[in-house]
Amino acid sequence: MLTKASRPAAPASARHPTRPPHAEDGDRPASCSTCDLRTVCWPRDPASDARIALAAFSRTERKLGRGAAVYREGEAFDSLFMVRQGVFKSVRVSRSGDEKVIAFHVPGEIFGLDAIGEGRHMEDAIALEESAVCVIPYASLVAEITRSPVLQSHMFRVLSAGIARNQGVVLMTEMVDAERRVYGFLSDLSCRYEAIGQPPDRIPVGMTRREIASYLGLSHETVSRILGRAARSGLLAVAPRAIEIRDLEALKRAAEI
Amino acid sequence: MLTKASRPAAPASARHPTRPPHAEDGDRPASCSTCDLRTVCWPRDPASDARIALAAFSRTERKLGRGAAVYREGEAFDSLFMVRQGVFKSVRVSRSGDEKVIAFHVPGEIFGLDAIGEGRHMEDAIALEESAVCVIPYASLVAEITRSPVLQSHMFRVLSAGIARNQGVVLMTEMVDAERRVYGFLSDLSCRYEAIGQPPDRIPVGMTRREIASYLGLSHETVSRILGRAARSGLLAVAPRAIEIRDLEALKRAAEI
DNA sequence: CGGTAGTTTGATGGACCTCAATCGTAGTGG
DNA sequence: CCACTACGATTGAGGTCCATCAAACTACCG
Protein backbone atom coordinates (compact mmCIF):
# COMPACT_ATOMS: atom_id res chain seq x y z
CA MET A 1 0.00 0.00 0.00
CA LEU A 2 2.86 2.28 0.82
CA THR A 3 5.31 2.85 -1.93
CA LYS A 4 8.95 3.58 -1.55
CA ALA A 5 9.76 7.14 -2.42
CA SER A 6 11.82 7.18 -5.53
CA ARG A 7 14.00 10.03 -4.42
CA PRO A 8 16.85 9.05 -2.10
CA ALA A 9 15.45 8.35 1.34
CA ALA A 10 17.37 10.78 3.46
CA PRO A 11 16.42 11.08 7.11
CA ALA A 12 13.49 13.43 7.45
CA SER A 13 15.50 15.91 9.45
CA ALA A 14 18.13 16.17 6.75
CA ARG A 15 15.82 16.08 3.78
CA HIS A 16 16.49 19.73 2.97
CA PRO A 17 20.14 19.96 2.08
CA THR A 18 22.04 23.18 1.98
CA ARG A 19 21.52 23.67 -1.71
CA PRO A 20 18.78 26.15 -2.51
CA PRO A 21 15.68 23.96 -2.37
CA HIS A 22 14.16 25.36 -5.53
CA ALA A 23 17.33 25.83 -7.57
CA GLU A 24 15.69 24.97 -10.84
CA ASP A 25 12.83 27.36 -10.44
CA GLY A 26 12.52 30.47 -12.52
CA ASP A 27 10.30 33.20 -11.14
CA ARG A 28 8.89 35.87 -13.35
CA PRO A 29 6.01 38.30 -13.27
CA ALA A 30 2.61 36.82 -14.02
CA SER A 31 -0.37 38.53 -15.47
CA CYS A 32 -3.84 37.33 -14.63
CA SER A 33 -5.44 39.47 -17.28
CA THR A 34 -3.96 37.36 -20.05
CA CYS A 35 -4.13 34.01 -18.30
CA ASP A 36 -6.34 31.39 -19.89
CA LEU A 37 -7.47 30.31 -16.46
CA ARG A 38 -8.56 33.67 -15.14
CA THR A 39 -12.21 32.74 -15.25
CA VAL A 40 -11.52 29.56 -13.34
CA CYS A 41 -9.30 30.56 -10.49
CA TRP A 42 -10.74 33.91 -9.51
CA PRO A 43 -14.27 35.10 -9.11
CA ARG A 44 -15.95 36.38 -12.19
CA ASP A 45 -16.22 40.09 -11.86
CA PRO A 46 -19.83 41.09 -11.41
CA ALA A 47 -18.60 44.38 -10.04
CA SER A 48 -15.36 46.21 -10.56
CA ASP A 49 -14.64 44.97 -7.07
CA ALA A 50 -13.13 41.72 -8.24
CA ARG A 51 -11.10 43.31 -10.99
CA ILE A 52 -9.45 45.48 -8.42
CA ALA A 53 -8.70 42.39 -6.39
CA LEU A 54 -7.04 40.76 -9.33
CA ALA A 55 -4.91 43.74 -10.20
CA ALA A 56 -3.80 44.37 -6.65
CA PHE A 57 -1.53 41.36 -6.34
CA SER A 58 2.06 41.37 -7.34
CA ARG A 59 1.94 37.75 -8.28
CA THR A 60 4.76 35.84 -9.84
CA GLU A 61 4.74 32.75 -11.94
CA ARG A 62 7.15 29.98 -11.04
CA LYS A 63 8.18 27.29 -13.47
CA LEU A 64 9.11 23.87 -12.18
CA GLY A 65 10.61 20.86 -13.89
CA ARG A 66 9.61 17.27 -13.33
CA GLY A 67 10.26 16.29 -9.71
CA ALA A 68 10.83 19.84 -8.48
CA ALA A 69 9.23 20.82 -5.20
CA VAL A 70 6.98 23.82 -4.75
CA TYR A 71 7.41 23.34 -1.02
CA ARG A 72 8.36 20.59 1.35
CA GLU A 73 6.99 19.33 4.62
CA GLY A 74 7.99 21.54 7.51
CA GLU A 75 8.59 24.68 5.48
CA ALA A 76 6.93 27.84 6.70
CA PHE A 77 3.74 28.72 4.92
CA ASP A 78 3.59 32.10 3.26
CA SER A 79 1.94 31.62 -0.08
CA LEU A 80 -0.84 29.76 -1.80
CA PHE A 81 -0.25 28.29 -5.22
CA MET A 82 -2.45 28.05 -8.26
CA VAL A 83 -1.61 25.53 -10.95
CA ARG A 84 -1.10 27.29 -14.23
CA GLN A 85 0.26 24.40 -16.24
CA GLY A 86 1.11 20.76 -15.66
CA VAL A 87 0.20 18.52 -12.73
CA PHE A 88 1.31 18.46 -9.12
CA LYS A 89 1.04 15.91 -6.36
CA SER A 90 0.88 16.45 -2.62
CA VAL A 91 2.64 13.69 -0.75
CA ARG A 92 3.44 12.81 2.81
CA VAL A 93 6.63 10.89 3.42
CA SER A 94 6.81 8.68 6.48
CA ARG A 95 9.90 8.10 8.56
CA SER A 96 10.52 4.84 6.76
CA GLY A 97 10.67 6.68 3.45
CA ASP A 98 7.33 5.45 2.21
CA GLU A 99 5.31 8.02 0.41
CA LYS A 100 1.57 8.48 0.20
CA VAL A 101 -0.03 10.70 -2.42
CA ILE A 102 -2.65 12.90 -0.78
CA ALA A 103 -3.89 14.76 -3.82
CA PHE A 104 -3.27 15.68 -7.44
CA HIS A 105 -3.62 19.24 -8.64
CA VAL A 106 -4.48 20.16 -12.20
CA PRO A 107 -4.55 23.61 -13.82
CA GLY A 108 -6.89 26.12 -12.23
CA GLU A 109 -6.74 24.48 -8.81
CA ILE A 110 -5.32 26.09 -5.70
CA PHE A 111 -3.18 24.14 -3.27
CA GLY A 112 -1.40 24.85 -0.03
CA LEU A 113 -4.68 25.69 1.69
CA ASP A 114 -4.15 23.13 4.42
CA ALA A 115 -1.10 25.01 5.70
CA ILE A 116 -2.95 28.18 6.64
CA GLY A 117 -4.02 26.76 9.98
CA GLU A 118 -0.65 25.54 11.15
CA GLY A 119 1.45 28.18 9.39
CA ARG A 120 3.57 25.31 8.14
CA HIS A 121 3.31 22.88 5.27
CA MET A 122 2.50 19.35 6.29
CA GLU A 123 3.35 17.70 3.01
CA ASP A 124 5.52 17.99 -0.08
CA ALA A 125 4.13 19.48 -3.28
CA ILE A 126 5.92 18.09 -6.32
CA ALA A 127 5.63 18.82 -10.02
CA LEU A 128 4.97 15.68 -12.05
CA GLU A 129 5.99 17.22 -15.35
CA GLU A 130 7.02 20.57 -16.80
CA SER A 131 4.73 22.79 -14.80
CA ALA A 132 4.08 26.30 -13.61
CA VAL A 133 2.31 27.82 -10.62
CA CYS A 134 1.09 31.27 -9.76
CA VAL A 135 2.46 32.35 -6.41
CA ILE A 136 -0.14 34.06 -4.25
CA PRO A 137 1.41 35.64 -1.15
CA TYR A 138 -0.97 34.95 1.69
CA ALA A 139 -0.39 38.26 3.42
CA SER A 140 -1.36 40.19 0.30
CA LEU A 141 -4.37 37.97 -0.19
CA VAL A 142 -5.56 38.57 3.36
CA ALA A 143 -5.05 42.28 3.00
CA GLU A 144 -7.04 42.26 -0.19
CA ILE A 145 -9.80 40.14 1.27
CA THR A 146 -10.45 42.64 4.05
CA ARG A 147 -11.22 45.16 1.34
CA SER A 148 -13.16 42.91 -1.01
CA PRO A 149 -16.28 41.06 0.12
CA VAL A 150 -16.43 39.28 -3.22
CA LEU A 151 -12.95 37.92 -2.78
CA GLN A 152 -13.70 37.00 0.81
CA SER A 153 -16.69 34.89 -0.02
CA HIS A 154 -14.78 33.38 -2.92
CA MET A 155 -12.00 32.28 -0.61
CA PHE A 156 -14.46 30.82 1.85
CA ARG A 157 -16.04 28.87 -0.97
CA VAL A 158 -12.66 27.65 -2.17
CA LEU A 159 -11.70 26.47 1.31
CA SER A 160 -15.06 24.86 1.85
CA ALA A 161 -14.81 23.11 -1.48
CA GLY A 162 -11.45 21.78 -0.38
CA ILE A 163 -13.08 20.15 2.61
CA ALA A 164 -15.88 18.75 0.51
CA ARG A 165 -13.43 17.40 -2.04
CA ASN A 166 -11.46 15.54 0.58
CA GLN A 167 -14.66 14.02 1.86
CA GLY A 168 -15.32 12.79 -1.63
CA VAL A 169 -11.87 11.23 -1.68
CA VAL A 170 -12.58 9.46 1.57
CA LEU A 171 -15.86 8.22 0.17
CA MET A 172 -14.26 6.94 -2.98
CA THR A 173 -11.34 5.17 -1.42
CA GLU A 174 -13.12 3.55 1.46
CA MET A 175 -16.40 2.47 0.10
CA VAL A 176 -15.80 0.74 -3.11
CA ASP A 177 -13.70 -2.00 -4.60
CA ALA A 178 -10.48 -1.44 -6.49
CA GLU A 179 -12.10 -1.27 -9.90
CA ARG A 180 -14.54 1.43 -8.89
CA ARG A 181 -11.79 3.43 -7.26
CA VAL A 182 -9.83 3.52 -10.49
CA TYR A 183 -12.90 4.33 -12.55
CA GLY A 184 -13.93 6.98 -10.04
CA PHE A 185 -10.47 8.47 -10.17
CA LEU A 186 -10.53 8.72 -13.95
CA SER A 187 -14.05 10.06 -13.93
CA ASP A 188 -13.07 12.71 -11.40
CA LEU A 189 -10.01 13.73 -13.39
CA SER A 190 -12.12 13.89 -16.50
CA CYS A 191 -14.53 16.30 -14.83
CA ARG A 192 -11.70 18.45 -13.59
CA TYR A 193 -10.16 18.74 -17.02
CA GLU A 194 -13.52 19.44 -18.54
CA ALA A 195 -14.00 22.26 -16.04
CA ILE A 196 -11.04 24.07 -17.51
CA GLY A 197 -12.06 23.58 -21.09
CA GLN A 198 -10.07 20.45 -21.88
CA PRO A 199 -11.61 17.48 -23.68
CA PRO A 200 -13.11 15.23 -20.99
CA ASP A 201 -12.35 12.00 -22.81
CA ARG A 202 -8.63 12.40 -23.12
CA ILE A 203 -6.81 12.49 -19.81
CA PRO A 204 -3.15 13.43 -19.87
CA VAL A 205 -1.78 11.11 -17.21
CA GLY A 206 1.32 12.80 -15.87
CA MET A 207 1.42 10.50 -12.90
CA THR A 208 2.79 6.97 -12.76
CA ARG A 209 0.77 3.88 -11.92
CA ARG A 210 2.55 3.83 -8.62
CA GLU A 211 1.40 7.35 -7.81
CA ILE A 212 -2.17 6.60 -8.82
CA ALA A 213 -2.04 3.47 -6.71
CA SER A 214 -0.71 5.36 -3.72
CA TYR A 215 -3.45 7.93 -4.07
CA LEU A 216 -6.13 5.28 -4.27
CA GLY A 217 -4.70 3.05 -1.57
CA LEU A 218 -3.96 0.20 -3.95
CA SER A 219 -0.86 -1.54 -5.22
CA HIS A 220 0.46 -0.43 -8.58
CA GLU A 221 0.02 -3.93 -9.94
CA THR A 222 -3.68 -3.78 -9.19
CA VAL A 223 -4.01 -0.43 -10.95
CA SER A 224 -2.16 -1.79 -13.93
CA ARG A 225 -4.34 -4.89 -14.08
CA ILE A 226 -7.53 -2.87 -13.88
CA LEU A 227 -6.44 -0.49 -16.61
CA GLY A 228 -5.41 -3.44 -18.73
CA ARG A 229 -8.76 -5.13 -18.29
CA ALA A 230 -10.62 -1.90 -19.07
CA ALA A 231 -8.55 -1.44 -22.19
CA ARG A 232 -9.27 -5.00 -23.32
CA SER A 233 -12.98 -4.49 -22.77
CA GLY A 234 -12.91 -1.31 -24.87
CA LEU A 235 -13.78 1.05 -22.04
CA LEU A 236 -10.43 2.82 -22.21
CA ALA A 237 -7.48 3.20 -24.49
CA VAL A 238 -4.36 3.16 -22.40
CA ALA A 239 -1.21 4.85 -23.60
CA PRO A 240 1.92 5.48 -21.57
CA ARG A 241 1.31 9.20 -21.15
CA ALA A 242 -2.42 9.47 -21.57
CA ILE A 243 -5.63 7.57 -21.11
CA GLU A 244 -8.45 7.92 -23.55
CA ILE A 245 -11.93 7.28 -22.26
CA ARG A 246 -13.86 5.46 -24.94
CA ASP A 247 -17.18 5.41 -23.13
CA LEU A 248 -17.42 8.16 -20.55
CA GLU A 249 -21.00 7.34 -19.63
CA ALA A 250 -20.22 3.70 -19.01
CA LEU A 251 -17.21 4.71 -16.94
CA LYS A 252 -19.25 6.98 -14.75
CA ARG A 253 -21.96 4.39 -14.37
CA ALA A 254 -19.40 1.79 -13.35
CA ALA A 255 -17.93 4.20 -10.83
CA GLU A 256 -21.27 4.85 -9.16
CA ILE A 257 -21.48 3.92 -5.54
CA MET B 1 -17.86 -2.08 4.15
CA LEU B 2 -21.11 -0.26 3.70
CA THR B 3 -23.55 -0.64 6.48
CA LYS B 4 -27.28 -0.55 6.22
CA ALA B 5 -28.69 2.62 7.66
CA SER B 6 -30.55 1.81 10.81
CA ARG B 7 -33.27 4.32 10.26
CA PRO B 8 -36.02 3.25 7.89
CA ALA B 9 -34.67 3.37 4.37
CA ALA B 10 -37.05 5.73 2.67
CA PRO B 11 -36.29 6.68 -0.91
CA ALA B 12 -33.84 9.57 -0.97
CA SER B 13 -36.34 11.87 -2.58
CA ALA B 14 -38.88 11.28 0.15
CA ARG B 15 -36.51 11.28 3.05
CA HIS B 16 -37.78 14.63 4.23
CA PRO B 17 -41.40 14.11 5.12
CA THR B 18 -43.79 16.94 5.67
CA ARG B 19 -43.41 16.91 9.41
CA PRO B 20 -41.10 19.60 10.68
CA PRO B 21 -37.71 17.97 10.21
CA HIS B 22 -36.41 19.02 13.61
CA ALA B 23 -39.58 18.54 15.62
CA GLU B 24 -37.77 17.36 18.71
CA ASP B 25 -35.40 20.26 18.82
CA GLY B 26 -35.66 22.94 21.44
CA ASP B 27 -34.03 26.22 20.57
CA ARG B 28 -33.11 28.70 23.23
CA PRO B 29 -30.73 31.59 23.57
CA ALA B 30 -27.11 30.67 24.13
CA SER B 31 -24.48 32.68 25.86
CA CYS B 32 -20.86 32.30 24.87
CA SER B 33 -19.62 34.26 27.85
CA THR B 34 -20.60 31.47 30.22
CA CYS B 35 -19.86 28.55 27.94
CA ASP B 36 -17.13 26.18 29.08
CA LEU B 37 -15.92 25.92 25.53
CA ARG B 38 -15.51 29.60 24.81
CA THR B 39 -11.73 29.36 24.80
CA VAL B 40 -11.88 26.48 22.38
CA CYS B 41 -14.28 27.50 19.71
CA TRP B 42 -13.52 31.17 19.34
CA PRO B 43 -10.28 33.08 19.18
CA ARG B 44 -8.78 34.08 22.46
CA ASP B 45 -9.20 37.79 22.81
CA PRO B 46 -5.85 39.49 22.59
CA ALA B 47 -7.72 42.66 21.81
CA SER B 48 -11.23 43.71 22.62
CA ASP B 49 -11.81 42.97 18.97
CA ALA B 50 -12.67 39.33 19.52
CA ARG B 51 -14.91 40.00 22.47
CA ILE B 52 -16.97 42.24 20.28
CA ALA B 53 -17.18 39.47 17.74
CA LEU B 54 -18.45 37.05 20.30
CA ALA B 55 -21.06 39.38 21.70
CA ALA B 56 -22.33 40.43 18.31
CA PHE B 57 -24.04 37.16 17.42
CA SER B 58 -27.53 36.33 18.43
CA ARG B 59 -26.76 32.69 18.62
CA THR B 60 -29.12 30.03 19.79
CA GLU B 61 -28.45 26.69 21.35
CA ARG B 62 -30.31 23.70 19.95
CA LYS B 63 -30.76 20.50 21.89
CA LEU B 64 -31.07 17.22 20.02
CA GLY B 65 -31.93 13.74 21.18
CA ARG B 66 -30.26 10.55 20.02
CA GLY B 67 -30.78 10.10 16.30
CA ALA B 68 -32.04 13.63 15.67
CA ALA B 69 -30.71 15.43 12.61
CA VAL B 70 -29.09 18.84 12.72
CA TYR B 71 -29.49 18.93 8.97
CA ARG B 72 -29.95 16.48 6.16
CA GLU B 73 -28.44 16.07 2.73
CA GLY B 74 -29.88 18.50 0.26
CA GLU B 75 -31.04 21.08 2.78
CA ALA B 76 -30.02 24.66 2.12
CA PHE B 77 -27.01 25.83 4.08
CA ASP B 78 -27.49 28.85 6.27
CA SER B 79 -25.70 28.13 9.53
CA LEU B 80 -22.59 26.57 10.92
CA PHE B 81 -22.83 24.45 14.05
CA MET B 82 -20.58 24.14 17.04
CA VAL B 83 -20.88 21.09 19.25
CA ARG B 84 -21.63 22.14 22.77
CA GLN B 85 -22.39 18.74 24.24
CA GLY B 86 -22.55 15.16 23.02
CA VAL B 87 -21.29 13.67 19.78
CA PHE B 88 -22.43 14.01 16.19
CA LYS B 89 -21.74 12.07 13.04
CA SER B 90 -21.74 13.25 9.44
CA VAL B 91 -22.99 10.54 7.11
CA ARG B 92 -23.69 10.12 3.45
CA VAL B 93 -26.45 7.76 2.49
CA SER B 94 -26.28 6.10 -0.88
CA ARG B 95 -29.24 5.30 -3.07
CA SER B 96 -29.21 1.74 -1.83
CA GLY B 97 -29.64 2.94 1.73
CA ASP B 98 -26.11 2.18 2.81
CA GLU B 99 -24.57 4.76 5.02
CA LYS B 100 -20.98 5.87 5.32
CA VAL B 101 -19.77 7.87 8.29
CA ILE B 102 -17.66 10.77 7.09
CA ALA B 103 -16.73 12.30 10.42
CA PHE B 104 -17.45 12.47 14.12
CA HIS B 105 -17.76 15.79 15.91
CA VAL B 106 -17.02 16.24 19.60
CA PRO B 107 -17.56 19.32 21.79
CA GLY B 108 -15.78 22.45 20.67
CA GLU B 109 -15.70 21.42 17.02
CA ILE B 110 -17.44 23.23 14.21
CA PHE B 111 -19.21 21.34 11.46
CA GLY B 112 -21.17 22.22 8.37
CA LEU B 113 -18.13 23.95 6.85
CA ASP B 114 -18.22 21.83 3.72
CA ALA B 115 -21.59 23.28 2.75
CA ILE B 116 -20.39 26.87 2.37
CA GLY B 117 -19.13 26.26 -1.12
CA GLU B 118 -22.23 24.63 -2.54
CA GLY B 119 -24.73 26.47 -0.37
CA ARG B 120 -26.27 23.10 0.33
CA HIS B 121 -25.50 20.31 2.75
CA MET B 122 -24.06 17.22 1.14
CA GLU B 123 -24.52 14.89 4.10
CA ASP B 124 -26.65 14.25 7.16
CA ALA B 125 -25.50 15.43 10.57
CA ILE B 126 -26.94 13.23 13.32
CA ALA B 127 -26.72 13.38 17.10
CA LEU B 128 -25.43 10.13 18.59
CA GLU B 129 -26.67 10.86 22.08
CA GLU B 130 -28.29 13.65 24.04
CA SER B 131 -26.50 16.58 22.48
CA ALA B 132 -26.54 20.30 21.91
CA VAL B 133 -25.17 22.59 19.24
CA CYS B 134 -24.63 26.31 19.00
CA VAL B 135 -26.24 27.67 15.87
CA ILE B 136 -24.05 30.19 14.06
CA PRO B 137 -25.93 31.94 11.27
CA TYR B 138 -23.52 32.20 8.39
CA ALA B 139 -24.76 35.60 7.25
CA SER B 140 -24.11 37.11 10.67
CA LEU B 141 -20.73 35.47 10.81
CA VAL B 142 -19.74 36.87 7.44
CA ALA B 143 -20.95 40.30 8.43
CA GLU B 144 -18.93 40.11 11.60
CA ILE B 145 -15.85 38.86 9.82
CA THR B 146 -15.73 41.87 7.55
CA ARG B 147 -15.40 44.00 10.65
CA SER B 148 -13.02 41.78 12.60
CA PRO B 149 -9.64 40.79 11.19
CA VAL B 150 -9.08 38.52 14.18
CA LEU B 151 -12.24 36.60 13.45
CA GLN B 152 -11.40 36.48 9.78
CA SER B 153 -8.04 34.86 10.29
CA HIS B 154 -9.59 32.55 12.84
CA MET B 155 -12.15 31.34 10.34
CA PHE B 156 -9.50 30.80 7.71
CA ARG B 157 -7.54 28.76 10.18
CA VAL B 158 -10.61 26.73 11.10
CA LEU B 159 -11.39 26.00 7.45
CA SER B 160 -7.79 25.17 6.71
CA ALA B 161 -7.65 22.85 9.69
CA GLY B 162 -10.73 21.14 8.32
CA ILE B 163 -8.86 20.37 5.12
CA ALA B 164 -5.81 19.19 7.01
CA ARG B 165 -7.93 16.98 9.23
CA ASN B 166 -9.56 15.28 6.30
CA GLN B 167 -6.17 14.62 4.83
CA GLY B 168 -5.22 12.96 8.07
CA VAL B 169 -8.30 10.80 7.79
CA VAL B 170 -7.32 9.76 4.30
CA LEU B 171 -3.84 8.95 5.52
CA MET B 172 -5.12 6.89 8.37
CA THR B 173 -7.67 4.89 6.51
CA GLU B 174 -5.68 4.14 3.42
CA MET B 175 -2.22 3.51 4.60
CA VAL B 176 -2.41 1.16 7.49
CA ASP B 177 -3.90 -2.15 8.45
CA ALA B 178 -7.12 -2.55 10.39
CA GLU B 179 -5.47 -2.62 13.80
CA ARG B 180 -3.63 0.64 13.28
CA ARG B 181 -6.74 2.29 11.99
CA VAL B 182 -8.62 1.48 15.16
CA TYR B 183 -5.71 2.51 17.35
CA GLY B 184 -5.26 5.68 15.34
CA PHE B 185 -8.93 6.44 15.68
CA LEU B 186 -8.84 6.07 19.45
CA SER B 187 -5.64 8.05 19.68
CA ASP B 188 -7.17 10.84 17.63
CA LEU B 189 -10.32 10.90 19.73
CA SER B 190 -8.20 10.94 22.84
CA CYS B 191 -6.36 14.04 21.64
CA ARG B 192 -9.57 15.76 20.73
CA TYR B 193 -11.06 15.18 24.15
CA GLU B 194 -7.86 16.25 25.82
CA ALA B 195 -7.97 19.48 23.83
CA ILE B 196 -11.21 20.41 25.55
CA GLY B 197 -10.02 19.54 29.01
CA GLN B 198 -11.37 15.99 29.25
CA PRO B 199 -9.24 13.12 30.52
CA PRO B 200 -7.40 11.69 27.49
CA ASP B 201 -7.48 8.11 28.75
CA ARG B 202 -11.22 7.74 29.08
CA ILE B 203 -13.09 8.03 25.82
CA PRO B 204 -16.86 8.21 25.99
CA VAL B 205 -17.82 6.17 22.96
CA GLY B 206 -21.19 7.45 21.88
CA MET B 207 -20.92 5.67 18.57
CA THR B 208 -21.61 2.04 17.83
CA ARG B 209 -19.05 -0.43 16.54
CA ARG B 210 -20.86 -0.29 13.24
CA GLU B 211 -20.41 3.47 13.03
CA ILE B 212 -16.75 3.27 13.95
CA ALA B 213 -16.33 0.55 11.35
CA SER B 214 -18.06 2.63 8.70
CA TYR B 215 -15.86 5.59 9.50
CA LEU B 216 -12.70 3.50 9.29
CA GLY B 217 -13.74 1.52 6.24
CA LEU B 218 -13.88 -1.79 8.10
CA SER B 219 -16.56 -4.27 9.05
CA HIS B 220 -18.00 -3.99 12.52
CA GLU B 221 -16.86 -7.53 13.28
CA THR B 222 -13.28 -6.55 12.61
CA VAL B 223 -13.55 -3.53 14.90
CA SER B 224 -15.03 -5.70 17.60
CA ARG B 225 -12.30 -8.29 17.25
CA ILE B 226 -9.55 -5.70 17.42
CA LEU B 227 -11.02 -4.05 20.49
CA GLY B 228 -11.42 -7.47 22.10
CA ARG B 229 -7.82 -8.38 21.39
CA ALA B 230 -6.60 -5.03 22.71
CA ALA B 231 -8.64 -5.51 25.86
CA ARG B 232 -7.22 -8.98 26.39
CA SER B 233 -3.70 -7.68 25.98
CA GLY B 234 -4.34 -4.98 28.57
CA LEU B 235 -4.01 -2.06 26.17
CA LEU B 236 -7.62 -1.01 26.59
CA ALA B 237 -10.54 -1.60 28.88
CA VAL B 238 -13.64 -1.90 26.76
CA ALA B 239 -17.05 -1.08 28.20
CA PRO B 240 -20.26 -0.74 26.22
CA ARG B 241 -20.40 3.03 26.46
CA ALA B 242 -16.78 3.97 27.00
CA ILE B 243 -13.27 2.82 26.26
CA GLU B 244 -10.52 3.32 28.76
CA ILE B 245 -7.02 3.58 27.41
CA ARG B 246 -4.71 1.75 29.77
CA ASP B 247 -1.48 2.64 28.01
CA LEU B 248 -1.81 5.76 25.91
CA GLU B 249 1.83 5.83 24.92
CA ALA B 250 1.74 2.26 23.68
CA LEU B 251 -1.44 2.99 21.78
CA LYS B 252 0.08 5.95 20.01
CA ARG B 253 3.22 4.02 19.24
CA ALA B 254 1.18 1.18 17.77
CA ALA B 255 -0.79 3.63 15.67
CA GLU B 256 2.32 5.20 14.17
CA ILE B 257 2.64 4.92 10.44
C1' DC C 1 -40.27 -9.85 30.09
C1' DG C 2 -40.29 -10.26 25.20
C1' DG C 3 -38.28 -7.85 21.30
C1' DT C 4 -34.93 -5.27 19.06
C1' DA C 5 -30.40 -3.64 18.41
C1' DG C 6 -25.68 -4.02 19.48
C1' DT C 7 -21.70 -6.92 20.42
C1' DT C 8 -18.89 -10.85 20.28
C1' DT C 9 -16.92 -14.98 18.36
C1' DG C 10 -16.13 -18.64 14.84
C1' DA C 11 -15.68 -20.55 9.98
C1' DT C 12 -15.00 -19.73 5.21
C1' DG C 13 -14.01 -17.56 1.00
C1' DG C 14 -12.31 -13.99 -1.87
C1' DA C 15 -10.16 -9.63 -3.18
C1' DC C 16 -6.04 -7.72 -3.25
C1' DC C 17 -1.08 -7.49 -1.68
C1' DT C 18 3.44 -9.40 -2.24
C1' DC C 19 7.02 -11.43 -4.64
C1' DA C 20 9.06 -12.27 -9.02
C1' DA C 21 10.05 -12.16 -13.91
C1' DT C 22 9.52 -9.98 -18.42
C1' DC C 23 8.83 -6.33 -21.47
C1' DG C 24 8.69 -1.60 -23.02
C1' DT C 25 10.38 3.09 -22.89
C1' DA C 26 13.10 7.07 -21.92
C1' DG C 27 17.21 9.11 -20.79
C1' DT C 28 22.50 8.97 -21.05
C1' DG C 29 27.07 8.77 -22.48
C1' DG C 30 30.31 6.97 -25.59
C1' DC D 1 23.43 6.97 -33.67
C1' DC D 2 23.17 3.28 -30.74
C1' DA D 3 24.25 0.38 -26.79
C1' DC D 4 23.46 0.70 -22.01
C1' DT D 5 20.95 1.59 -18.01
C1' DA D 6 17.17 2.55 -15.13
C1' DC D 7 12.68 3.02 -14.34
C1' DG D 8 7.94 2.09 -15.28
C1' DA D 9 4.37 -1.12 -16.85
C1' DT D 10 2.63 -5.55 -17.31
C1' DT D 11 1.56 -10.25 -16.17
C1' DG D 12 1.63 -14.48 -13.28
C1' DA D 13 1.61 -17.33 -8.86
C1' DG D 14 0.91 -17.68 -4.11
C1' DG D 15 -0.33 -16.07 0.33
C1' DT D 16 -2.94 -13.26 3.68
C1' DC D 17 -5.82 -10.06 5.72
C1' DC D 18 -10.26 -8.97 6.16
C1' DA D 19 -15.30 -9.19 4.54
C1' DT D 20 -19.03 -12.12 4.69
C1' DC D 21 -22.07 -15.40 6.62
C1' DA D 22 -23.82 -17.40 10.76
C1' DA D 23 -25.02 -17.84 15.51
C1' DA D 24 -24.88 -16.92 20.45
C1' DC D 25 -24.79 -13.57 23.88
C1' DT D 26 -25.87 -9.00 26.11
C1' DA D 27 -28.05 -4.63 26.90
C1' DC D 28 -31.66 -1.74 26.54
C1' DC D 29 -36.56 -0.19 26.13
C1' DG D 30 -41.26 -0.33 25.97
Which residue is nearest nucleotide D28, judged by alpha carbon to C1' distance? B240
pLDDT of residue A74: 95
Measured between beta carbons, the chain A residues lying within 8 angstroms of B73 are none
- Measured CA to CA, the distance from residue A16 to residue A82 in angstroms comes to 24
Question: Which residue ranges have CB below 7 A from strand D?
Answer: A 6, 208-210, 220-221, 224-225, 227-228, 238, 240; B 1, 177-179, 217-219, 221-222, 240-241
Nearest CA in chain A to B122: A164
Size of interface A-B (CB pairs under 8 A): 133
User: Cβ–Cβ of B162/A163 closer than 8 Å?
Assistant: yes
C-alpha distances (whole Å) from B28 to each of A117, B8, B132, B216 are 32, 30, 11, 35
Left (φ > 0), alpha (ψ -120 to 50) or beta: where does B244 sit? beta
pLDDT of residue A225: 97
C1' of D11 to CA of A223 (Å) = 12
Q: Which of residues 48-77 of B touch A (CB under 8 A)?
A: none
pLDDT of residue B59: 64
pLDDT of residue B48: 47
Nearest by CB to residue B166, choosing from A115, A145, A167, is A167
pLDDT of residue B30: 67
H or E stretch covering A178: helix A178-195
C1' of C27 to CA of B116 (Å) = 48
- Measured CA to CA, the distance from residue A113 to residue A136 in angstroms comes to 11
Hey, is A45 helix, strand or coil? coil
C-alpha distances (whole Å) from B162 to each of B16, B51, B58, B87 are 28, 24, 25, 17
**Which of the 8 DSSP states describes residue A247?**
-
Q: Can you give the pTM of this predicted structure? A: 0.85
pLDDT in tens, A113-125: 999 999 999 999 9
Ordered per-residue pLDDT tens for chain A, 257 residues: 444 444 433 333 333 333 334 434 467 766 676 676 766 666 655 554 444 454 456 568 899 998 999 999 999 999 999 998 899 999 998 877 789 999 999 998 999 999 999 999 999 999 999 999 989 899 988 988 888 888 888 899 999 999 999 998 888 887 789 999 999 999 999 999 998 888 888 888 889 999 999 999 999 999 999 999 999 999 999 987 789 999 999 999 988 87
Hey, is A26 helix, strand or coil? strand
Q: Do residues A42 and A53 lie in contact, with contact meaning Cβ atoms separated by under 8 Å?
A: yes
User: Cβ–Cβ of A153/B142 closer than 8 Å?
Assistant: yes
H or E stretch covering A6: none
Ordered per-residue pLDDT tens for chain B, 257 residues: 444 444 443 333 333 333 334 434 567 766 676 776 766 666 655 554 444 454 456 568 899 999 999 999 999 999 999 998 999 999 998 877 789 999 999 998 999 999 999 999 999 999 999 999 989 899 988 988 888 888 888 899 999 999 999 998 888 887 789 999 999 999 999 999 998 888 988 888 889 999 999 999 999 999 999 999 999 999 999 987 789 999 999 999 998 87
Measured between beta carbons, the chain B residues lying within 8 angstroms of A2 are 175
Nearest CA in chain B to A147: B146
pLDDT of residue B190: 93
- Measured CA to CA, the distance from residue A246 to residue B92 in angstroms comes to 30
